[in-house]
Amino acid sequence: MKTKKMVVVGVTGSIAVHRAVDLTSLLTKADLDVHVVLTADAQKFVTPLPFKTLSRNSVVTDLYDEEEGWQPTHIRLADEADLLLVAPATANTIARISLGLADDPLTCIALALNPNASLVIAPAMNGKMWHHPATQGHVATLAARGAQIIGPQEGMLACGYEGAGRLWPVDSIAQQVVDHLRNSPTR
């Protein structure tokens, strides 16, 4: 029987990826079993090492990364997760999860996620991308399926524009995850 709630943190290729390192630390300090999945685009911004060190677990970077045992890692994580948190979530990843595309470890986990687990999305992108009808449609689809959407926040964006698109503060994301898991039954 599990003693800790398991959170899979999916980190995508946004400039806000560096804030996911702090988010991983906060979730681990909250006594959660944190497993990080880095997309190929996320790895353009950061390496797996800080996530491995802070989560105290190996980091999944490829669909064919395999640990010990016979079960594919992405299926094991999808089965055992209490919550999948995608932070930062790019427009591309939001669209792929919404459409059920599964071509990397993160989207495979999202598609195979056990039905008792929660999906939490924390978007981070250019404001025009956030407000685009396609992105809003994908977000609405995910929300209708029960996903919790956290943010984005208004402010100065890395691209030089000001508006919606900033990743929600990581301490607030972590607190919402902890509160959500505290109020959900242990499996």
Catalytic positions = 159
CB atoms within 10 A of CB 155: 12
Distance between CA atoms of residues 23 and 66, nearest Å = 25
Which H, E and C letters describe the chain, residue by residue?
CCCCCEEEEEECCCCCHHHHHHHHHHHHHCCCEEEEEECCCHHHCCCCHHHHHHHCCCCECCCCCCCCCCCCHHHHHHHHCCEEEEEEECHHHHHHHHHCCCCCHHHHHHHHCCCCCEEEEEECCCHHHHHCHHHHHHHHHHHHCCCEECCCEEEECCCCCEEEEECCCHHHHHHHHHHHHHCCCCC
